Amino acid sequence: MIKDFDHVVLTTANLEKCLDFYVRVIGMRVERFTSAGKERIALRFGDRKFNVHPPGFDAGLKADKPTPGSLDFCFLADRPIGDVIAHLRACGVQIIAGPDKRQGARFALRSVYMRDPDGNLVEISEPYE
């Protein structure tokens, strides 16, 4: 029944800090669009995106208890994990764990962990053999 993954909704307490982190640190790009007559904001990477719900945004159809800081997700890096670590340090981001070996959905991973401005756990990984 399920073929692929399209998007996730990221609830934030501070839109500016959220956009800065995901654009400057993670490398996403901001996309503004209109859906159901409302102006929306998304963070796009490749052919996937995070729709962003800032404070006061009424999405209508949404999770029962959308809460900033409740996500825990993993990105696959487009470069070696050592380069990721150097970039995170240059951006002043605290790495809270790693690099550690983990098992991903498709293969073994070597990962580093940090928190975004809302406290979500962000994992960045490379395939590990």
Active site positions, annotated: 123
Residue 69 has which token pair?
């800081």
Nearest CA-CA partner of 67 in 112, 23, 20, 13: 13
* Residue (of 88, 54, 72) closest to 99 by Cα position: 88
Structure tokens at 64: 């029962």
Cα–Cα nearest to 12, from 117, 115, 93:
117
DSSP state of 63: -
Beta-strand pair 38-45/97-103 = unpaired
